[in-house]
């Protein structure tokens, strides 16, 4: 690999991604990939922590692979691979589990939230999820991890785990930094703007999926919840309007202040239409490219095979170092 710092991030193939995932994470991956040795993963093992239909999961894994590529991830430069193809992720998780504690894992906000939304399936994997995430990051000695704001707590735990391991067994892991975008780190629901936009929301009008066609995008924005007065300003007591301003600013790469000026005096109806059109203009070409790529399964399989081969070379080097540090005996080869 080139003499650059290393960047790692991953996304779960748990459904069709939303513009929250795009603006909070994916779009930044493309921007950062040239400046780092970049590694991107389809976090399929994480997805198993919530009950999945196997056929749908398989489909979603290819969907996400195609979307990464359609969003500009260049497989010649960056490594793109499926997490389960590199078994070191599961193996390092085992070792890290031995220095993590139920108390700290059960305090994670996402665990507490998911324990409520999946009351009938609070499994060990759900609680262990951040340890697997730490393994993803630490295996590649990652310097930078671009994520949305909702992953900040998990990222901090990854840093703690790296520091804890290094203190106990000697310098082994790079302690990673997070990269959380200034705008759109937390895109909110279009229907309940005090809640995060999520691909698993039961209300389809609450999120814009990266698979929505332009008419659907515009219709959903027209229905977005706003509030009673007619001013288009960014303010804590106007979560609906603030969210729409944020989405527009992020998608057009303008500042919130400029966007407020642009829309001054406009009615909510016209404003929502303009936001919808701007979003549709950006995501429609991505959707079409993704669908083109999805039709070429052989190409996707080749990209993933190559990605896994490149990823595992780095991952097993770290795993061997970890096994040695904790006192395991290396297997004799040849
Ligand atoms: P996941 O799959 O839920 O989301 C993927 C990325 O999208 C960001 N995101 C958002 N950003 C802005 N607004 C939103 N409404 C929004 N919703 C989601 C997430 O912060 C994330 O960056 N645990 C991770 C996947 C993962 C990972 C890793 C990430 C597994 N291993 C190692 C980084 C490093 C997750 O579930 O993301």
Judge if 120 and 220 occupy the same domain: no
How many structural domains compose the chain? Answer: 2
Ligand 1 closest atom vs CA 130: 23
Active-site residue flag, 114: yes
Ligand 1 mean position to 325 CA, how many Å? 31
Write the secondary structure of the chain as one string of H (helix), E (strand) and C (coil).
Answer: CCCCCEEEEEECCCCCCEHHHHHHHHHHHHHHCCCCEEEEEECHHHHCCCCCCHHHHHHHHHHHHHHHHHCCCCCCCCEEEEHHHCCHHHHHHHHHHCCCCHHHHHCCHHHHHHHHHCHHHCCHHHHHHHHHHHHHHHHCCCCEEECCHHHHHHHHHHHHHHHHHHHHHCCCCCCCEEECCCCCCCCECCCCCCCECCCCCCCHHHCCECCCCHHHHHHHHHCCCCCCCCCCCCCCCCHHHHHHHHHHHHHHCCCHHHHHHHHCCCCHHHHHHHHHHHHHHHHHHHHHHHHHHHCCHHHHHHHHHHHHHHHHHHHHHHHHHHHHHHCCCCCCCC
Q: How far is the CA of 62 from the centre of ligand 1 (A)?
A: 18
Q: From the candidates 5, 30, 152, 199, which is the catalytic residue? A: 199
Q: Residue whose CA is closest, atom 4 of ligand 1?
A: 11
Task: Say whether both 37 and 151 belong to one domain.
Answer: yes
| 223 & 104 share domain | no
The pTM of this model reads 0.96
Q: Which atom of ligand 1 is nearest to the CA of 151?
A: 20
d(CA 148, CA 287): 21
Same domain, 302 and 258: no
- Atom number in ligand 1 closest to CA 11: 2
Q: Are residues 218 and 309 in the same domain?
A: no
Both 233 and 156 in a single domain? no
**Percentage of the residues of the chain whose pLDDT score is greater than 70:** 99
Does the beta carbon of 7 lie inside 6 Å of ligand 1? no
Cα 294 to ligand 1 centroid, rounded to whole Å: 22
Domain assignment present for residue 312? The answer is yes
Q: Which atom of ligand 1 is nearest to the CA of 43?
A: 30
Does 1 have pLDDT greater than 80? Answer: no
301 shares its domain with 285: no
Identify whether 332 is a catalytic site residue: no
Q: Are both 169 and 225 inside the same structural domain?
A: no
Cα–ligand 1 centroid distance for 259 (angstroms):
27
191-221 pLDDT, tens digit each: 999 999 998 889 999 999 999 999 999 999 9
Q: Which pLDDT score is estimated for 260? A: 95
What is the C-alpha to C-alpha distance for residues 306 and 225, in angstroms, rounded to an integer? 45
Q: How far is the CA of 283 from the centre of ligand 1 (A)?
A: 19
Range of the domain at 216: 204-291
pLDDT of residue 229: 84
Q: What is the pLDDT, as a whole number, of residue 230?
A: 86
The answer as to whether 191 is a domain residue is no
pLDDT of residue 2: 66
Q: What is the pLDDT of residue 292?
A: 98
38, part of any domain: yes
Average pLDDT in the chain: 96
- Asked if 106 and 242 sit in the same domain, the reply is no
**Residue 246 maps to a domain:** yes
Reply yes or no on whether 77 is catalytic: no
pLDDT at 79: 98
43 & 105 share domain: yes
Q: Is 249 in the pocket of ligand 1 (CB under 6 A)?
A: no
CB distance 25 to ligand 1 below 6 Å: yes
170 and 267 share a domain? no
């Amino acid at each position: 690999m080139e003499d650059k710092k290393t960047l790692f991030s991953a996304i779960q193939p748990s459904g069709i991604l939303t513009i929250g995932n795009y603006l909070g994470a994916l779009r930044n991956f493309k921007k950062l990939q040239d400046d780092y040795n970049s590694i991107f993963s389809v976090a399929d093992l994480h997805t198993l922590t919530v009950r999945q239909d196997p056929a749908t999961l398989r489909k979603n894994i290819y969907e996400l692979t195609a979307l990464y590529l359609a969003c500009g991830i260049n497989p010649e430069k960056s490594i793109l691979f499926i997490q389960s193809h590199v078994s070191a992720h599961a193996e390092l998780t085992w070792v890290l589990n031995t220095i993590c504690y139920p108390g700290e894992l059960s305090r994670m906000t996402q665990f507490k939230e998911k324990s409520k939304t999946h009351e009938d399936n609070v499994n060990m994997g759900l609680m262990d999820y951040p340890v697997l995430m730490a393994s993803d990051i630490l295996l590649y000695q990652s310097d930078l991890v671009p994520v949305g704001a909702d992953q900040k707590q998990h990222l901090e735990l990854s840093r703690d785990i790296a520091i804890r391991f290094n203190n106990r067994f000697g310098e082994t892991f790079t302690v990673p930094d997070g990269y959380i975008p200034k705008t759109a780190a937390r895109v909110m629901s279009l229907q309940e703007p005090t809640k995060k936009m999520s691909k698993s929301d039961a209300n389809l009008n609450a999120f814009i999926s990266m698979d929505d066609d332009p008419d659907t995008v515009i219709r959903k924005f027209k229905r977005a919840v706003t509030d009673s007065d007619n001013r288009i300003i960014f303010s804590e007591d106007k979560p609906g309007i603030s969210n729409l301003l944020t989405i527009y600013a992020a998608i057009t790469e303008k500042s919130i202040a400029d966007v407020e000026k642009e829309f001054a005096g406009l009615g909510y109806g016209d404003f929502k239409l303009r936001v919808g059109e701007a979003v549709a203009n950006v995501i429609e070409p991505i959707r079409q490219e993704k669908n083109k790529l999805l039709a070429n399964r052989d190409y996707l399989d080749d990209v993933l095979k190559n990605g896994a081969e490149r990823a595992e070379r780095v991952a097993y080097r770290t795993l061997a170092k970890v096994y040695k540090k904790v006192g395991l005996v290396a297997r004799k080869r040849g």
